[in-house]
Amino acid sequence: MNEPARQEILGGIMSKKILELLLQELKKVRIVCKGKRDGKPCGATFEIPMGSLKGFFPEDKCRCPFCGQSFYPEMEGLTFKNPFNPLAEAIEGLLAISGKATVTFVIEESENALQDVECDAD
Ligand SMILES: [Zn+2]
């Protein structure tokens, strides 16, 4: 992803262009906490290199270390497991088959793009 497009996304405005991102271009995962600290949005930001994502949050402490917000999925029928580890394993597996297939992520223009990238203000 080129830098101007990235800045637009971080600023809350999705680029109108269709972006295609090679799996190999995924370098970091950014996680912004939506929990609360002293009644205010926590906003703690974690930038984790892809190679360090697996195990970054311990299986029994998958939560924000600043406000305690749980990062475990709370979905019916889903086991309470660290959701970042399977992502890291999937990416690791896909990188391992890069000689067999090219994997890209496609970000298309969307009417709902603004709502998709804006943080909850509540
Ligand atoms: Zn937090």
Q: What is the pLDDT of residue 64?
A: 97
What does the pLDDT read at residue 68? 96
Span from the CA of 16 to the centroid of ligand 1 (angstroms): 31
Domain assignments of the chain as residue spans, ordered by start: 3-104
pLDDT of residue 103: 94
Ligand 1 midpoint to CA 3 (Å): 27
Show the tokens assigned to 63: 């939560």
- pLDDT value for 5: 45
- Listed as ranges, residues in the chain with pLDDT below 50 are 1-9, 118-122
Q: How far is the CA of 18 from the centre of ligand 1 (A)?
A: 32
- pTM of this prediction? 0.68
% of the chain exceeding 70 in pLDDT: 73
| pLDDT of the residue at 102 | 94
> Exposure string (b/e) for 17-45, b if CB count within 10 Å is 16 or more?
eebeeebeebeebebebbbeeeeebbebe
What is the predicted pLDDT for the residue at 14? 52
How far is the centre of ligand 1, averaged over its atoms, from the C-alpha of 121 (Å)? 14
